[in-house]
Amino acid sequence: MNEFVRTAFHGAAGLKDVIDLRDRISPATFEREREKIFKKSWLMIGHASDLPVDGSYVIRELPVANTSLIVIRSRDGKVRSFHNICRHRGNKLIRSGTGCKSTITCGFHGWTWANTGQLLGVTDESQFLNLDKSKLGLLEVATEVWEDFIFINLDPQPKETLTAWLGELAQGYEGYFQKQQRVRSYRVRVKCNWNLAVNSFTEGYHTAYIHRNTAPDYQGGKSNPQRHRPFMQLLERHARYSAPANPDHRVTPAEGVAWTYGPKMLPAADFDYQGMPPGLNPGRAQYWLFDVIEWFPNVLILPGKHYHMELEFWPLSAGETELTATAFAAPPKSYSQRISQEFFRTRFREIVREDMNTLEAQQAAISTGVMPEVFLSQQELVLSHHYRVSEQMLEA
């Protein structure tokens, strides 16, 4: 039995193993990130399945872009996004929440739009001189749907389609995400820079230490004691790697009950890979737990065989981030399976809380400016790749 598993690296050439983070978390850099990264990237903001019928909408607040969006399924079935602003006097059209509307009416003066965006009615229209209603539709934002995920691009003229933006990650997951439903979401604000928050979840070097109480032996095992990632792929903008399962994992009494009534989910592993889409476990590791996919700039997807997890990191300022963590699984077929999913949901919540444990302390320490650099191992190259892509966009 080998002492170490060797990582199969793809696209790692030229990555730095020493990074200066002091400038990365500064207010000046954050203002540049707003304009050159968050207003130019395709950003994942929701799920088409949350808009089940024509007229279904959700309001998305994006402080990083200083904007509020109406994300709606129009009467033609297409998912659209509009700036949440009245074309008459700039009132916010819908204050918050979710609902269903065939038309959108401003509560200030009663102007009305179809849910496809065109202006339908102007109160006391005869009193407006030279008013061209055809030019006063809601301000639309580029919106595309991929495998149930809704992406928007705030650039008035996006340089490329969503498919081009996703690159190689646009293939290999057909039908996988649509088969699962939301189990539970958690939202929390942390006083740290968004880059540090993303970094905390994009390497497995920490798992033997941070998660020693909740999931002490779920990764690695005798054949991989240092928990090396069996596969790591660094693409033009995005990245993904596979987390190694421990074939010697000892099932706890609680897990034994949970997995009796439902499929094995985090922190257990199911080594039967039959029927999985080709995008999962792309390196075909013998012992695979789940993958970690970074959609640059601010979303992580962690797909396993019977579940997936989504992590969104939305900057509020240079030193504060809102994290949303959501667990998904196939609809339960019995009350027993529902209880099994509750075990998965609880374990997921605790692992996320542990991953957040170091964030505010790290922010405070780096903010002192006394340490010029951080040092990355080969198992942390996704962090280096994140900053390389960031540099490219900031310099463009």
CB 278 within 8 A of CB 326: no
CA atoms in the 13 A half-sphere facing the CB of 147:
18
Max alpha carbon distance in the chain (Å)? 84
Q: Are residues 238 and 140 in the same domain?
A: no
Give, for 343, the enclosing helix (H) or strand (E).
Answer: helix 335-355
Please tell me whether residues 232 and 381 are part of one structural domain: yes
Share above pLDDT 90 across residues of the chain, in percent, rounded to a whole number: 92
Q: What is the C-alpha separation between 236 and 388, in angstroms, rounded? A: 10
230 domain residue, yes or no: yes
Q: What are phi and psi of 190, to 5 degrees?
A: -125, 145
Q: Which domain holds residue 110?
A: 42-158
pLDDT band at 61 (very low <50, low <70, confident <90, very high): very high
Do 101 and 52 reside in the same domain of the chain? yes
Burial of 231 (0-12, 13-18, 19+ CB in 10 A): buried
| Three-class secondary structure of residue 54 per DSSP | coil
Distances (CA, A) of 349 to 24, 107, 327: 28, 40, 9
Q: What SS3 class is residue 44?
A: strand
pLDDT tens across 35-60, in order? 999 999 999 999 999 999 999 999 99
Asked whether residue 254 falls in the same domain as residue 116, the answer is: no
Distances (CA, A) of 18 to 21, 89, 112, 188, 358: 10, 51, 55, 30, 20
Band of the pLDDT at 84, cuts 50, 70, 90?
very high
Residue 137 has pLDDT above 80, yes or no: yes
Domain boundary among 158, 191, 222: 158
pLDDT at 4: 64
Question: Is residue 372 a contact partner of residue 236, using CB atoms and an 8 Å limit?
Answer: no
Query: CA-CA distance, 8 to 71, in Å (whole number)?
Result: 40
Last residue of a domain, one of 123, 158, 193: 158
Together in a domain, 215 and 296 = yes
- Is 194 found in the same domain as 103? no
Average of per-residue pLDDT across 159-182: 97
Asked if the structure places residue 1 within a domain, the reply is no
pLDDT at 55: 98
191 with 274, same domain: the answer is yes
- Are 265 and 355 found together in one domain? yes
Distance set, CA 56 to CA 42, 76, 78, 139, 359 (Å): 22, 12, 11, 18, 36
pTM: 0.95
One domain for residues 120 and 207:
no
Give the Cα separation of 39 and 320 in Å (integer). Answer: 19
Instruction: Looking at the structure, tell me whether residues 365 and 309 fall in a common domain.
Output: yes
Q: 81-85, 257-261, 381-385: lowest mean pLDDT where?
A: 257-261
- Residue 90: give its domain's CATH number: 2.102.10.10
- Residue 170 is assigned to a structural domain of this protein: no
In a domain, 311, yes or no: yes
pLDDT of residue 30: 98
Q: Give the per-residue pLDDT at 29.
A: 97
Above 60 in pLDDT, residue 3? no
Q: Show which of 103, 130, 158 is a domain's final residue.
A: 158
Query: Is 166 inside a domain boundary?
Result: no
Domain assignment of residue 236, yes or no: yes
CATH code of residue 246: 3.90.380.10
Query: Do residues 374 and 387 lie in contact, with contact meaning Cβ atoms separated by under 8 Å?
Result: no
2 pLDDT more than 80: no
| Intra-chain end-to-end CA distance of the chain, in Å | 48
Residues 6+ apart with CB under 8 A from 379: 7, 203, 204, 205, 228, 229
Pick the closest to residue 382 from 256, 242, 225 (CA basis): 242
Look at residue 278 and give its three-state secondary structure: coil
pLDDT reported for residue 321: 98
Q: Which of 152-156, 260-264, 288-292 has the lowest mean pLDDT?
A: 260-264
Do 383 and 247 fall into the same domain? Answer: yes
For residue 165, tell me if it sits in a domain.
Answer: no
Pair (182, 241) in one structural domain = yes
**pLDDT greater than 80 at residue 5:** no
Q: For tokens 């095992």, name the residue.
A: 221
Using CA atoms in the order 87, 62, 292, 206, what is the torsion angle rounded to 10 degrees?
A: 170
Task: Give the count of domains, the chain.
Answer: 2
Whether 373 maps to a domain, the answer reads yes
